[in-house]
């Protein structure tokens, strides 16, 4: 079973340009050639355009509301109509209180959609595991965007998170923060992660497409 | 010069279904037949799909950030890449502090985009007029979604807002809250509004397309 | 070892009047007569006044900041100067993101102060146990203020929370929500709680002082 | 008629120590000797202690709620019970949406209390003047805490705010941000301000008491 590569487009300008579109066609190729699942977590405003190129798309956030009179908020259930498969939830740059995470994860599940819930620490991950999301990603916020890979600088974060989550529920754990090259991905997998969550290393790469392939390869043979 | 009709799709389920798409083709017809400007303020996740049908699309909210490492937030500048013309700002259901409204209006203007800033009261409208947005809408929140039209129940809100805004800057004022039929639109225009902002009357109508035409007609001859 | 009774004054008008002051003198008597620890969680604006009457006072919230240029926020460390012993943290009516709970609990501990962290569910409690606060209270928000006691209506919430917290750390668990009379307190203790968290049953009682004694008595012999 | 000097204690450590207490006794002396009104805007947790020394005390923030089941929030009406005269509202470090400012100002007025509403710009001030607070302070946030006095670096902010507010209502305007010495105060008054709002210049002064007197003197003969 191959690993999972999640690319968070964030709100980098590249996300909205041809760079984001090109990444989507590479993601489609990687999935078919390597068998690696590549999830693109894109800004909501470009989601339906990216979905046409690569079928495996998440948005970066949904709101703890249902359909109704809400202006500028996205109900989890709305993703289905846009062909989007799921959402990041509680990302370090978009934190929610526990109760709202619970509400969103449940609404996504009820709609047949996926949730990738983020945690800063193994402790936060353990609490969130009770919500039984599709996946949990652990990302020490102090390493995000630094190029200092969690899998090398703080390997115990990954092993502790894997163990803490397992105590509660059978939910795959991804690792993120500072993941920059294929050896960082390799190491994360060795520590028990089922995949990685990457943003700047791809989005701000000189050659984003090549970087995408580089990070996907170690996940082919997991 | 014809008036302006803004339809706020909100997060009603209809916004995401064929209803929303059909409304967009009617909007295109209305614009070409009646010369009325119909702006569709849609959820970000369907914006690029609606833009292909009707060129005059806003999103319902943008965030006070620039391009960069932000997850689940939309920079004003990103709208250009999606073919979206502007954004609602500070809607009654998505209020922002004054400083953030200022930041968003300025970023939209700098990117050649439009801003429709909402105010609960003439006083709030006067303060916001200093930011010189493209348009200002005044909507008493206690009437939103009630079917009690501001233009009949509280006409002084419209006249006061028109006057207060004029003291500060030459910015057109729209009226919203409870607008339900063509006579409500007619009355709003007589009170000095350049157009109206409507949500539930169209989105939850038995026949949304017909309601759209009904509300547009009084604006043809403004 | 006797149990713990926490009275959350909330922002009931009684909190600010002679009722709140009188409760404090009763709390002092109860502590000395029954050996029960009675913690009064009071609005910050009356904390220093209540401290003079009863030594065991918490505030209801502190902010995730240090000393400095912050207007209208309370740094955890400031409690020491006011003679306050600790703070409620993450109460159901004042939720914080996990990261901020962590920051506040750590700052309180570093300053030699106590933290009583609240959780809606056993799952949230387990995650928060990693922060090693002084105590954890579990309170199903749907029962708060209803008079339907958690210890009778949803006993598994208490037993699950006690067990989940124990897996992680040796932190006493209190129970709250709907606790109304002495039998509710008795039952909570039998289910493994070290004490209870009460608000409306005392603050809105016909005779708050008598109610305070009634709820304290079952905790004398724990 | 003498001017008004508002000292914002913020959450500086000095606010909670003997420094804050000593400032209160100096404030009492200044009021009686110079006839200058000195308002101390203190952290809620020390308000009742400071009130005993100097009668003219505000808190730094109140919340848009009434009495009731709210944990860790302060209803405007509660100030009366603590002998506090009013509150800062919408300070640059604690911004609120317009609707909540309106609610708080109204609740304070209804309870016979005062409101000092802060604005970043003359435009924000004009909008807020519609709420008819007791006073309005204009403070360009980029100068707060810098020691670069608004009255010298950006005098037009003061004159524009005075003029904009006058257009709407008869509400005195104070000036703040970077006010450091008596000549800054003098200049603010010449530009039309009825007083000044000061924080770091006093709270972080080598000799806070002496600085208080220095800043008060130019206001004696306004």
Residue range A61-110, pLDDT digits in tens: 999 999 999 999 999 999 999 999 999 999 999 999 999 999 999 999 99
- D-chain CB neighbours of C47 within 8 Å are 45
d(CA C58, CA C42): 6
pLDDT (0 to 100) of residue B1: 67
Q: Do D72 and C79 touch (CB under 8 A)?
A: no
Q: How far does C95 lie from chain D, in Å, by closest CA? A: 10
pLDDT (0 to 100) of residue B130: 97
The ipTM of this complex is 0.95
Mean pLDDT of chain A: 96
Which of the other chains make 3 or more beta carbon contacts under 8 angstroms with chain A? B, C
pLDDT (0 to 100) of residue B222: 67
Tens-digit pLDDT profile for residues C81-110: 999 999 999 999 999 999 999 999 999 999
Measured between alpha carbons, how far is residue B149 from residues B201, B214, C2 in Å? 11, 15, 62
Tens-digit pLDDT profile for residues C163-222: 999 999 999 999 998 999 999 999 999 999 999 999 999 999 999 999 999 999 999 976
Question: Helix-strand-coil percent breakdown of chain D, rounded to 5?
Answer: 45, 15, 35
Q: Do D48 and C45 touch (CB under 8 A)?
A: yes
* CA-wise closest residue to D204 among D144, D141, D164: D144
pLDDT (0 to 100) of residue A1: 67
Q: Of B91, B114, B124, B126, which residue is the catalytic one?
A: B91
Q: Has residue D109 got a pLDDT over 80?
A: yes
The answer to whether A171 touches A129, Cβ cutoff 8 Å, is yes
Q: Has residue A154 got a pLDDT over 80?
A: yes
pLDDT (0 to 100) of residue B2: 85
pLDDT (0 to 100) of residue A145: 83
Q: Has residue C40 got a pLDDT over 90?
A: yes
Q: Has residue A127 got a pLDDT over 80?
A: yes
Q: Has residue A147 got a pLDDT over 90?
A: no
Q: Do D126 and B98 touch (CB under 8 A)?
A: no
Tens-digit pLDDT profile for residues C42-67: 999 999 999 999 999 999 999 999 99
- B-chain CB neighbours of A47 within 8 Å are 45
Nearest CA in chain B to D102: B124
CB of B102 within 8 Å of any CB in chain D? yes
* CB-nearest partner of C97 from A95, A102, A121: A95
CATH code for C4-219?
Answer: 3.20.20.70
* CB-nearest partner of C45 from D17, D41, D47: D47
Mean pLDDT of A122-127: 97
Which of the other chains make 3 or more beta carbon contacts under 8 angstroms with chain C? A, D
Q: Which of residues 123-152 of C touch D (CB under 8 A)?
A: 144-145
pLDDT (0 to 100) of residue B71: 98
d(CA A46, CA A49): 5
Pairing between β-strand A37-42 and β-strand A4-8 as defined by DSSP bridges: parallel
d(CA B122, CA B167): 12
- B-chain CB neighbours of A77 within 8 Å are 13
Mean pLDDT of D57-77: 98
* CA-wise closest residue to A43 among C32, B84, B25, D186: B84
Domain B4-220 homologous superfamily, CATH: Aldolase class I (3.20.20.70)
- B-chain CB neighbours of A199 within 8 Å are 69
Q: Has residue A40 got a pLDDT over 80?
A: yes
Mean pLDDT of chain D: 96
pLDDT (0 to 100) of residue A151: 86
Residue B93 annotated in active site:
no
What does the radius of gyration of chain C's CA atoms come to, in whole angstroms? 16
Would residue D10 be called left, alpha or beta, if left means φ above 0 and alpha means ψ between -120 and 50 degrees?
Answer: left
pLDDT (0 to 100) of residue A54: 97
Question: Angle CA(B213)–CA(B217)–CA(B218) in degrees, nearest 5?
Answer: 140
Mean pLDDT of chain B: 96
Q: How confident is the model at residue A47 (pLDDT cuts 50, 70, 90)?
A: very high
Q: How confident is the model at residue B151 (pLDDT cuts 50, 70, 90)?
A: confident
pLDDT (0 to 100) of residue D1: 67
CB of B213 within 8 Å of any CB in chain A? no
Q: Of D26, D91, D114, D124, which residue is the catalytic one?
A: D91
The mean-pLDDT minimum among A193-207, D92-106, D135-149 falls in D135-149
Q: Has residue D222 got a pLDDT over 80?
A: no
Mean pLDDT of A185-198: 96
CB of B95 within 8 Å of any CB in chain D? yes
Q: Has residue D118 got a pLDDT over 80?
A: yes
Mean pLDDT of D167-185: 95
* CA-wise closest residue to D78 among D64, D66, D93: D66
C44-51 and C18-34 helices, crossing angle to 10°: 50
* CB-nearest partner of C95 from A97, A129, A167: A97
* CA-wise closest residue to C202 among C194, C191, C210: C210
- D-chain CB neighbours of B96 within 8 Å are 97
Q: Has residue A192 got a pLDDT over 80?
A: yes
Pairing between β-strand D173-176 and β-strand C195-198 as defined by DSSP bridges: unpaired
d(CA D80, CA D103): 17
Q: Do C122 and A102 touch (CB under 8 A)?
A: no
Mean pLDDT of D88-103: 98
Q: Do A84 and B45 touch (CB under 8 A)?
A: yes
Q: Do C69 and D200 touch (CB under 8 A)?
A: yes
Looking at the annotation, which residues of C are catalytic?
Answer: 91, 139
Tens-digit pLDDT profile for residues B57-77: 999 999 999 999 999 999 999
* CB-nearest partner of A82 from B46, B65, B70: B46
Residue ranges of the domains in chain D?
Answer: 4-220
Nearest CA in chain D to B120: D99
The answer to whether D164 touches D116, Cβ cutoff 8 Å, is no
């Amino acid at each position: 079973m191959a690993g999972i590569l999640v690319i968070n487009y964030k709100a980098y300008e590249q996300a909205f340009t041809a760079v984001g579109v090109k990444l989507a066609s590479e993601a489609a190729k990687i999935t078919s050639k390597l068998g690696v699942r590549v999830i693109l977590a894109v800004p909501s405003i470009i989601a339906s355009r990216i979905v046409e190129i690569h079928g495996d798309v998440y948005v970066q956030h949904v709101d703890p509301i249902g359909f109704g009179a809400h202006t500028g908020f996205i109900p989890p259930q709305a993703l289905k109509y846009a062909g989007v498969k799921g959402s990041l939830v509680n990302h370090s740059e978009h934190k929610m209180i526990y109760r709202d995470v619970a509400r969103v994860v449940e609404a996504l599940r009820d709609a047949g959609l996926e949730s990738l819930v983020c945690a800063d620490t193994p402790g936060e991950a353990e609490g969130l595991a009770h919500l039984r999301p599709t996946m949990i990603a652990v990302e020490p916020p102090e390493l995000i965007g630094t190029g200092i890979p969690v899998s090398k600088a703080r390997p115990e974060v990954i092993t502790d998170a894997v163990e803490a989550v397992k105590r509660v529920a059978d939910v795959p754990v991804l690792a993120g923060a500072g993941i920059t090259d294929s050896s960082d991905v390799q190491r994360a997998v060795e520590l028990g992660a089922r995949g990685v969550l990457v943003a700047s290393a791809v989005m701000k790469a000189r050659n984003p497409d090549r970087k995408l392939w580089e990070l996907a390869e170690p996940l082919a043979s997991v």
